[in-house]
Amino acid sequence: MSMSKSDVIIVGAGSAGCVLANRLTRDPARKVLLLEAGGRDWDPRISIPIGMGKLQQHALYQWGDESEPEPNLDGRRMDIAHGKVIGGSSSINLMAFTRGQPQVYDRWAEDGAKGWSYAEVLPYFKSIEAWEDGADEWRGGDGETGVQWARTTDPIYDAWIEAGKALGHPFTPDYNGAQSWGFGRGQYSIRDGRRSSAAQGFLRPTVTRRNLTVVTRAMAVRILLEAGRAVGIEYRHDGRLKRAYADQEVILSLGAINSPHLLMLSGIGPAEHLRSFDIDVVADLPVGANLQDHVAAAINWRRRSPGPFHKSLRLDRVAFGMARAYLFGTGPATVIPGGMHAFIKSRPDVAEPDIEFMFHTVPPEADVWFPGIKAPYRDGYGIRPALLRGQSRGSVRLRSSNPDDRPRIYYNALSEPEDMRRFREGFKRAWEVGQSSAMDPFRAELIAPDTPPEDDREIDAYLRRTAVTILHPSGTCKMGMGPASVVSPELKVNGIGSLRVVDGSVMPELVSAHTNAAILMIAAKAADMIDSVAG
């Protein structure tokens, strides 16, 4: 069996893994091996922002998971995309760049994740971003992730902001700054017209570092454990089983579905569950529990006359736009047609924002068109209310002891009655915005739901029929203290030496935002903790 030796092994070159690979190889004396199950991120559709539409439609570069039938969503299974490519989910995501509400991080710290309050993580948020308006008290100006304002000129956006204000929602000039909630202009991890993924920002600059080895299409199948500590990883590569050993530590950054999966396959997880698959129990920990995500539903309307994005989807313009974006990083293919977010309170008496609106200017059936060949689709727009701070919890469980069998994912979405109530309120707030007089110049007929819901029962039925996850799984290797936690505030797996988990799975409570920025921050802080011990 082929073997290699490093100081540190990082498994998973996703959002967190790329940050770690960068930060940990600044010290030329530290030898790091980065293993990634997917391939390179060379497809132009990854780097051109508008290419994400195609990545989504064809489910490219991802693991192809789905949930078990969801009891509160009419027994439907939900698609759970997550990246399988260098850059991980940051290479296929929608690039929204949001930190969320500070109170959530403060609760992490209060509940046992010492050192993770918002004041304590703020320096790391600042360290990972190059905000186009430059550094200030809240923002970073010279980090690795390029962050810019949504570059849209569609007049519908001004109407959307006006609608929010008219309904009494606050406006925020920068939701990643001093005021974290309200209606505001979107921010995206895009730099010079190209996706600023974790791979682009953090991994690419390391190509000349001789102390980093990146192996792609390397599928980790087991953590090698000896006398209660992690000593390496067994992985499949080129059709062969190989072993890599680490002198200092092994770091799992496989994401919130695959990190718990690999831990359980290796004997670290709920004892009874592991025994039912004849897996020897090394540590009895609540791995895979506490799964959280955001669910959202859409309200869509037709638009009176086509907007700028519709025009740019004419076949000849698409081809030209893609070439221009790829070569020069300019033009319409570098602009996301859904540039706005709002973090709002479903009712004025709610303590923290509990609903996010995502505003998009494309109808579900949007596609390339050309006169005489394919008729243009009718333009539309929509608002997607997403439930933040949900109380429902799910789990990731083994399907079998075979690493090739994908785990079972139970979301249990909307299982808490309070979640359904607040999601319904969020739907009503989104409806008010869409139907408001500020939107009159743009709004034609309703597309979805088919007809306006007449009462709460009809709203609930619509939400159960259509809600989907917006792909922020987290929480399955909970950080904290006490028996409900899997990792310590230093992200070390409880009871096992030389093993950390650093990715979205460690969030004790899911952030009230899209998750990429928080996960980059988590990895930057983890690298700092590892450096300070080594130094």
Judged by DSSP in three states, 523 sits in helix
Least distance in angstroms from the C-beta of 144 to ligand FAD: 14
| Type and span of the H or E element at 33 | strand 32-35
List the structure tokens of 437. Answer: 């007089």
Q: Which of 201, 189, 101 is nearest to 149 (CA)?
A: 189
Tell me how far CA of residue 465 lies from CA of 242, 297, 346, 461, in angstroms. Answer: 45, 9, 21, 6
- Long-range CB contacts (< 8 A, 24+ apart) of 428-431? 428/459, 429/167, 429/344, 429/346, 429/355, 429/357, 429/385, 430/299, 430/355, 430/357, 430/383, 430/384, 430/385, 431/299
Pair type for strands 468-469 and 295-296: antiparallel
Q: Residues 82, 261, 472, 514: which is the catalytic one?
A: 472
Angstrom distance (rounded) from CA 204 to CA 213: 13
CB atoms within 10 A of CB 74: 12
CB closer to ligand FAD out of 176 and 258:
258
Judged by DSSP in three states, 310 sits in helix
Residues that bind ligand FAD (CB under 6 A): 11-17, 35-38, 81-84, 88-90, 92-96, 218-220, 253-256, 258, 262, 471-472, 503-504, 514-517, 519
CB closer to ligand FAD out of 10 and 439:
10
CB closer to ligand FAD out of 103 and 516:
516
Residue whose pair of structure tokens reads 């479903």 in the numeric block: 346
Least distance in angstroms from the C-beta of 382 to ligand FAD: 16
Residue whose pair of structure tokens reads 């996706």 in the numeric block: 195
- The answer to whether residue 472 is catalytic is yes
Angstrom distance (rounded) from CA 521 to CA 529: 12
| Type and span of the H or E element at 397 | strand 395-397
**CB under 8 Å to 319, separation ≥6 — which residues?**
none
CB closer to ligand FAD out of 96 and 333:
96
CB closer to ligand FAD out of 143 and 504:
504
Least distance in angstroms from the C-beta of 473 to ligand FAD: 7
CB closer to ligand FAD out of 468 and 471:
471
Least distance in angstroms from the C-beta of 437 to ligand FAD: 30
| Chain residue whose CB lies nearest ligand FAD | 14
DSSP labels, 105-117? HHHHHHTT-TT-S
List the structure tokens of 261. Answer: 């999966």
Contact by Cβ (8 Å): 419, 275: no
Angstrom distance (rounded) from CA 263 to CA 274: 10
CB closer to ligand FAD out of 72 and 474:
474
Tell me how far CA of residue 521 lies from CA of 126, 209, 226, 506, in angstroms. Answer: 8, 23, 31, 12
CB closer to ligand FAD out of 355 and 519:
519
CB closer to ligand FAD out of 424 and 500:
500
Q: Please count the residues of the chain.
A: 535
List the structure tokens of 374. Answer: 């394919």
| Type and span of the H or E element at 45 | helix 44-47
List the structure tokens of 495. Answer: 């009871």
Degrees, nearest 5: CA angle 520-268-486: 45
Catalytic residues: 472
